[in-house]
Structures are given as structure tokens and as C-alpha cells.
Amino acid sequence: MKNRVMDALRKGKRGVDYMDIRIGEGVSTAIGIRNKEVEDVTRPRSFGGSVRALYKGGWGFAAFTRMDQLSEAVEKAKRFSKLIAGSKSMLAEVPVVRDIVKTSDNEKDFLDKSLNEKVKILKQYDKVAWTVGPEVVNVNVSYGDSLTWKLFVSSEGSVIEQEKALVYSLVQVTAKKSGVVGRYHIHLTDTNFAALMNREEEVLTAARTAVKLTRVPQVKSGSYEVILDPLLAGVFAHEAFGHLSEGDNVYENPQLARVMKLGKRFGSPLLTIYDDPSALGFRGSYKYDDEGVVASRAVLLDKGVLAGRMHSRETAGKMGEKPNGHARAAGVRTVPIVRMGITRIASGESSFEEMLTGIERGLYCINWQAGNTDHERFTFTAGYAREINNGKLGGIVRDVKLTGNLFETLKNVSMVGREEVIAGGTCGKMGQYIPENSAAPHVRISKVEVIGV
């Protein structure tokens, strides 16, 4: 198969500035339990590929599902590139790579488990959540795993094979009492199957939290000093700042480009944010991106100063910046675009106890429910919050929505915790959904607007 792809590339690359071909195959499992019933059990196999051709700045793209369609896809991609050709192709130079990347046995331990074993464990967690009480009205337990193989070849000479294992499980609990709805979720694993085992106590805690949220008051609107727990801080860094630092978003939006000037101060000197997918073994990690570029750390905010951004080869070339391996595709039949991998807030020096000290009226915001951003404006909903009164943790409040201007909020970061927590998720952009991670310690912010009652 590899020889067929390389032969098609050799014949097809004539007459264009650049060409690459990706093919891949995989097997996956998906299980969903809702309302005490196993609703979804799928075990699909997949195969496919795509061809990209670049000619005078114009990209042509063609996907295929069978190897006998490869030659036709090559010709289509070339033809499309010439239909939209502009003036000049601009790809940042990168080394030619020949490599084979294998995943570890630990990461693909789910291959040794039968479908019945997987379903049995998930049904047990579903059963545990329902035992909490009659207030529980809905429990969703989801699970997915996959093992994929990808081949990347380019007209510049790179030939890269990569294997990737993924496993993921989530429990979501909804409770209702006297018309008040409480929701809470936990991730059971995003590293390997072994981490899925013996999590009954955490499932119980999640269900009890959902029920508890039906009995507590809504937060009162106002300006608060807040502490974000690592889960919410990580999501905040990803959604509110990470997407603003993706090279295509900046290059294609002149207004954003004027704002996101390298060297400009955007945040507290205590705050450093970077994206580094090269730490293998996590949901968002990889050795090479989908353009064959080695994954490397992209420091986005360095002690409060805008230091860089994530790039594809094209955005790096057009912006005169260094490529860092952040072009990712949801599959081999989709176009690589600039994406995050593992977005991190660098650890600081403050303990949680030190963060509490001196807060007269504040909130400790725990976990997350939802979030959205519109350029520099953000709104995030915490899972719940505990009040902070004179440096002491108090009662629980619900429906905690944090909102404000991103850049002002980043400047208001007053403490950063010592211990980082990494969590996995799925990120959507331009219709493509990819696995990612966010990692952060606790973060204290001196002023945040909270929407409540």
C-alpha cells in the first residue's frame, strides 16, 4: 500500500508546487447508556485518504475511500488547485522526515478487553449513579476507543507512519427537585482502559453533586474575586485564549491581527500559556502533525506578554513565523487546519490555602458546564461554586456564569497554583472535532463579573 501511494505521488506531483497524500485505517468502539438502557454499541472499521495539491497559492483537495480511487483523487486535487491559483505559494520550510511512530501497549490496553467486559463496567457505573435517590432523572454513560494508523507522504520527500490509540469515557448526571435542575459530569478516563476501573466512588460523588445542586441557591450577580479550579482554568485557557492564538484565525481576521500583536502585554506577569502536543501518551498528543511537521511547544503568552501562536506551514510562511506542528485534521479525509493539542497554563508558586487568604467576598469555581467566546468576550458556566467569605470556604451555589473581557481578565490574574491537573476533551472548529487536552493549576483572579440572580 505504501509503495502504491509513493508511486502515485511521484507521478502526480509534476506541474504543482507541492503535493501530499494521507491514507489511514482504524477500528473503534462506541458505547452509550442512557436512562438505564444500552442505546449505542458500534464497532466500525474505517479506511480512506486524501490528496492535497498546491499551485500558485491555490489549494486543491480530494478525498477517497478506496485505493483504486487514488489516481483520480490526485488529478482532481491538481485540477482544483489550478482553478483557484493566485500568485505565490508560501509554505514555511521544514525538515524532510522519515519515521514510524508506534503507540505503547499501555495506551492500547483496551484491545485485550471484550465488548461484554466494556459494557459490564459502564452498566455498573450507570447503576451506581441511579442509587443516589429519586431526584436523579437522567444518567448518560459514554465510552469510546480507537486504534488508527496513518501514512503521510509529501512531494518534498517525507514519509511518516503514525499509530494512535484513544480511549475516553464520561458520566453525566441530571437531577431535578421542585423544578430546579442540577447537572454534573466527570471524565472517567482519557488515557487508557486501566484508568476506567474501580471508579464507583467518583461516580457516586458526581451523582450526589447533581442532586445537591437542586437544593442550593443560585449565585447572586456581581463582581467577585474568584479562584478557578484546574478543570475550569484549563478550559478557560483553551477556549478563551487558545483559539485566539491559532495562526489561521489571526491571519484571516485583520481586526484580530491588529489586536494580537507579538510583544504586546495581555496578562499578568504571573501567567504563561503554551501548547505542547509533544508530550506523548495523552489524548491531544502526537509526534508529527498532519503536514508531517514535528510537534513542538508554542509559547503563546510568556509572563503576560504575547509571545507566539500555533501554525500550519502556510500560516507560518505567510506570517513570517516559525512552524510548530499544529496543523491537524479530524481524519485522513478532511483538510488539516490549525488546532491546539495540549494547552497548558504553566504552574506557579501559590498554594490553595494562600489563594484563599485575603478574599473577603469571592467564589471558588469548580469544573465546567459550558462556555463560549466571541473574540475577546467570554462566558463560561462553572459546574458549581463555593462561596469564599473572609478567606474561608462557605456554602455551594449553582448557575455560576463568568463573563467579561478576556484581556482585562488575564491582567487580573493575581495568583497561580503549584499543582497542574490535565484533562481531556474534544474540540470543534470548522466542523471538525478532534481530541485535545487542557492542563492548568488553580488560578486566582482579582475581579470577574458573575451572572446570577
Please report, for the domain that includes residue 167, its CATH number.
3.30.2290.10
**Residue 151 burial class via C-beta count within 10 angstroms: exposed 0-12, middle 13-18, buried 19 and up:** buried
Q: Are residues 19 and 59 in the same domain?
A: yes
- CA dist 311 → 72, 256, 347 (Å): 30, 16, 24
Q: Are residues 130 and 66 in the same domain?
A: yes
Q: Does 74 reside within a domain? A: yes
Domain membership of residue 433 (yes or no) is: yes
For residues 339 and 326, the answer to whether their CB atoms sit within 8 Å is yes
Shared domain for 184 and 290, answered yes or no, is no
Instruction: Work out the average pLDDT over 4-27.
Output: 96
Number of domains in the chain: 2
pLDDT digits (tens, 9 = 90+) for 259-313: 899 999 999 999 999 999 998 889 999 999 999 999 999 999 999 999 999 999 9
The grid coordinates of residue 34 equal: 442512557
Asked whether residue 148 is domain-assigned, the answer is yes
| Domain-embedded: residue 149 | yes
Residues 205 and 240 in one domain: no
Q: Mean pLDDT across the stretch 322-335?
A: 97
Domain shared by 32 and 145, yes or no? yes
- Place 452 in a pLDDT band, splitting at 50, 70 and 90: confident
pLDDT of residue 280: 87
In the structure, what pLDDT confidence band is assigned to residue 235 with cuts at 50, 70 and 90? very high
Mean pLDDT of the chain: 95
SS3 406: helix
Average the pLDDT over 433-451 and give the result: 96
Residues 193 and 256 reside in one and the same domain: no
Q: Decide if pLDDT at 252 tops 80.
A: yes
User: How many residues does the structure list for the chain?
Assistant: 453
Say how far apart CA 234 and CA 446 lie, in whole Å. Answer: 18
Crossing angle of helices 200-212 and 115-130, rounded to 10°: 40
pLDDT of residue 329: 98
Are 46 and 329 within 8 A, CB to CB? no
Residue 258 CA, chain-centre distance (Å), reads 26
- Chain segment 56-84, per-residue pLDDT in tens: 999 999 999 999 999 999 999 999 999 99
Specify the pLDDT at position 372. Answer: 81
Query: Are residues 195 and 161 part of one domain?
Result: yes
Q: Which domain holds residue 182?
A: 2-212
Residue 374, C-beta contacts closer than 8 angstroms, at least 6 positions apart: none
C-alpha–C-alpha distance, residues 286 and 326, integer Å: 10
Is residue 217 situated within a structural domain?
no
Give 374's pLDDT tier (boundaries 50, 70, 90).
confident
Asked, for residue 83, whether it belongs to a domain, the answer is: yes
Residue 393: half-sphere exposure toward Cβ, Cα within 13 Å: 11
Stated as kind and residue range, the H or E segment containing 207 is: helix 200-212
Joined together, the cell numbers standing for residue 176 give: 431535578
Structural domain includes residue 112: yes
Give residue for cell 451506581: 128
What pTM value is reported for the model?
0.95
Which of 153, 180, 212 is at the close of a domain?
212
| Percent of the chain clearing pLDDT 90 (strictly above) | 93
Give the whole-angstrom CA distance, residue 397 versus residue 213. 8
Domain assignment present for 118: yes
Q: Does residue 87 carry a pLDDT above 90? A: no
Q: Is the pLDDT of residue 453 over 90?
A: no
Asked if 20 and 148 sit in the same domain, the reply is: yes
Q: Judge if 97 and 163 occupy the same domain.
A: yes
pLDDT tens across 161-186, in order? 999 999 999 999 999 999 999 999 99
Phi, psi at residue 115, to the nearest 5°? -60, -40
Q: Are residues 178 and 235 in the same domain?
A: no
Q: Of 212, 233, 248, which residue constitutes the final position of a domain?
A: 212
Cβ proximity of 412 and 446 under 8 Å: yes
> Do 166 and 67 fall within a single domain?
yes
- The grid coordinates listed for 427 are 474540540
Residue 42, classified by CB atoms within 10 Å of its CB into exposed (0-12), middle (13-18) or buried (19+), is exposed
> Is 200 in the same domain as 238?
no
Structural domain ending residue among the three candidates 164, 186, 212? 212
Per-residue pLDDT tens digits for 130-143: 999 999 999 999 99
